[in-house]
Structure formats: C-alpha cells, structure tokens
C-alpha cells in the first residue's frame, strides 16, 4: 500500500509536466515555436523576437520543469543527497545550455539554425528526468 501514494504523487507530477507542454503557447513567450513548427527555419526569416523576454521565459520554463522533475525524483527515491546532486546537475546543464543558446542566437546563420533548435529543445523539455530516473534506480539496485 505504500507504493500507491508514491505512484499517485509521481503521476500527478508527470501530469504537471504534460500540462506545461500542452499550455506552452499560453504560458510562455516563445516565437521560435512557430518558426520551427511551420518551416520558417527553412527560409531563415526569423520572426520578430524580444530577446530578453525570450531568455526570461526559456529560463522560467526550464526551472519550472526542473522543480517538477526534482519532485518526481524526491518522491521516487526520498534521498536528499540525490536531490542535491540532481539540482547541481540541472544547474550545470542550464548554464551550459543557456550560454550555448545565447551564443548561437547571436551568431545565427544557416549552418547553426538547427543547432539553436536542439539547444532550445533541451532547455524547454524535461529530458534530463528521463536520464536521471533510470540511472538513480539502477544505482539503488546496485547498493
């Protein structure tokens, strides 16, 4: 019976991650969504972008997904050292990804337009939880 509340808690947080994705247009400023979705990147006609607003909302979305992901890890493993390690990892990933995004946006050319897309994708989607969850589970099994 102890597993049911744990699974329900994780399910609720996964639903929150899904809701962030479903309501991305309403919650976050990101003109690059339509730029990449509708083929604007093929013609290199970048939409009008407020860069500071875009960077703030990319950061907000990353940290919102990070908090939810840390909640999932906490419920799954109940280990403060794992959460601290994960928070440090997420911070490092954010700094590297944010710096790379800024660099490629400022130096945007036809060669790196898709690089910008993939860096942005790593920043706005909770991909690291898909790496950390199984790795911590495997680590727990080995202990």
pLDDT tens-digit readout, 52-91:
999 999 999 999 999 999 999 999 999 999 999 999 999 9
| Section 47-55 average pLDDT | 87
Q: Does residue 113 carry a pLDDT above 70?
A: yes
pLDDT at 1 over 60: no
Three-class secondary structure of residue 2 per DSSP: coil
- The mean pLDDT value for 118-140 works out to 92
Where are the chain's structural domains?
3-142
Q: How many residues comprise the chain?
A: 143
> Is pLDDT of 44 > 80?
no
The answer, yes or no, to whether residue 130 has pLDDT greater than 80, is yes
Using the predicted structure, report yes or no on whether residue 11 has a pLDDT greater than 90. Answer: yes
CB 112 within 8 A of CB 131: no
DSSP classification of residue 46: P
pLDDT value of residue 33: 80
Task: Return the axis-axis angle of helices 51-77 and 80-106, rounded to nearest 10°.
Answer: 160
Say what the pLDDT of residue 39 is: 65
* pLDDT band at residue 108 using 50, 70 and 90 as cut-offs: confident
**Which residue did the predictor score with more confidence, 66 or 24?**
66
The mean predicted confidence, pLDDT, of the chain is 89
Is 106 in contact with 71 (CB distance < 8 Å)?
A: no
Output the pLDDT for position 74.
Answer: 96
């Amino acid at each position: 019976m102890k597993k049911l509340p744990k699974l329900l808690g994780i399910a609720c947080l996964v639903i929150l991650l899904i809701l962030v994705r479903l309501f991305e247009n309403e919650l976050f400023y990101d003109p690059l969504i339509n730029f990449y979705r509708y083929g604007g990147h093929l013609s290199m006609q970048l939409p009008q972008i407020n860069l500071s607003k875009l960077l703030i909302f990319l950061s907000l979305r990353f940290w919102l997904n990070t908090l939810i992901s840390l909640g999932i890890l906490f419920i799954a493993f109940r280990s403060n050292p794992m959460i601290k390690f994960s928070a440090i990892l997420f911070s490092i990933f954010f700094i590297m990804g944010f710096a790379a995004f800024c660099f490629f946006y400022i130096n945007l050319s036809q060669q790196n337009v898709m690089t910008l897309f993939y860096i942005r994708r790593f920043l706005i989607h909770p991909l690291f939880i898909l790496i950390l969850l199984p790795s911590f589970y495997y680590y727990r099994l080995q202990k």
